[in-house]
Every structure is written in C-alpha cells, then in structure tokens.
Amino acid sequence: MSKAGDLYGQSLYDLAAESNLSDEILGEMELIKGIFKENPDYVTLLSEPSVPKNERLKLVDEAFGDGCQQYLLNFIKILVEKGLLREFSACQKRFRKCYNEEHGIADALVTTAVALDEAQLKQLTDKLEKLSGKKVLLKQKVDSGVLGGVRVDLEGQLFDGTVKGRLSELRRKVDETVI
C-alpha cells in the first residue's frame, strides 16, 4: 500500500467508526472500487489537471451524489482535489484492513488446481476459523500450475499442501544433500 493510501484510508476509517458508519461505507467503497476498475477512463478524466477542478467535482456529484454516503462522497472529492484518485484502491484496502482488525475478520486466499465445491469451501473455512480464531472471508483462485492439493494464504501465513509445493521442497532437500 502507498503512504497516501494508508493515511487517507485510515483517516476515513477512523471517521466512519466514530460515526458508526463503517459497514455502510465499506460496502460503498467496494462498489465504487469496482466502478473505477471497470471505467479507467473515468478515473483518468477525474485525475486530469487540464479539466477544471470544479468540473471534476461536479462529475463526482453527478455520479455518486445520490447513492453515496456523504462522508465517502466528500472523501472522493478530496482525492480528486489532491490529485490522488488513483490511490482510491489503496485507501479501500487500508479501510478494509482496519475494519477486519476491529471486527475479528481474516482474509484468506485458497489456490487449487480445480475449483472447490461449496461443501469443500465451507469445510476449509470452518478449519481456518478454528485455526485463526477469527471469522474467515475465503476467496478462491484456480491455478492449474499447482498440479493438485491446496495452498492457503491466511493473513500472510502460507500453508502449502500442493503437489508443486511438495516437489519444490523435495528438490530443495535433494539440492542440499551432500553426496
């Protein structure tokens, strides 16, 4: 994360938590992040210094004014004014991190060669929740390069039970063996 993303995301979270709006703002931030990702030209337009600032702020009001929490709308306007709108994603990540810490939530990414079904995902989520003591939000990634097995990244802690990981470990041990 960038320093600006950390600073602004933390500041918005502090304000949202103090006003008991963190749930609402988090949901809206995730929607807006998706909108910005799908419409990079819009972000470029809002970041373009040759477009007068008041015009850019008017565009933000037109796009988000009716369906956006006021603190978040003002936050986006501040990012536009400061030329930091491209940092919105980093701000959202920091906001999400603060939210997760305060609410006992852990993000996890499971990587497998084939997609897991709902029952397998539920079983894995339950095990990770027991292991971490937190509510786990599990995202799934399919990568045929892992060959088989499961790799889980839980808040920076890696559990690698993949065939590829085991082969790599075996190769490392063989390379270290002195004959």
Question: Is pLDDT above 90 for 157?
Answer: no
- 133 residue type, one letter: G
Query: What is the predicted pLDDT for the residue at 179?
Result: 63
pLDDT of 1 over the 70 cut? no
pLDDT tens-digit series, residues 50-84 = 999 999 999 999 999 888 999 999 999 999 999 99
pLDDT digit string, tens, across residues 82-139: 999 999 999 999 999 999 999 999 989 999 888 999 999 999 999 999 988 999 999 9
133 sits in the region (left: phi over 0; alpha: psi -120 to 50; else beta) called left
**How confident is the prediction for the chain on average, in pLDDT?**
90
Residue recorded with tokens 């500041």: 11
> How far apart, in whole angstroms, are the C-alpha atoms of residue 79 and residue 60?
11
Residues 6 or more apart from 117 whose CB is under 8 A from it? none
Q: What is the DSSP letter of 177?
A: -
**pLDDT of residue 19 exceeding 80:** yes
DSSP letters for 125-176: HHHHHHHHSSEEEEEEEE-GGG-SSEEEEETTEEEE--HHHHHHHHHHHHHH
Task: Tally the residues of the chain.
Answer: 179
Q: Model's pTM, two decimal places?
A: 0.77
Q: Domains, the chain, ranges and CATH?
A: 3-100 (1.10.520.20), 105-176 (3.40.30)
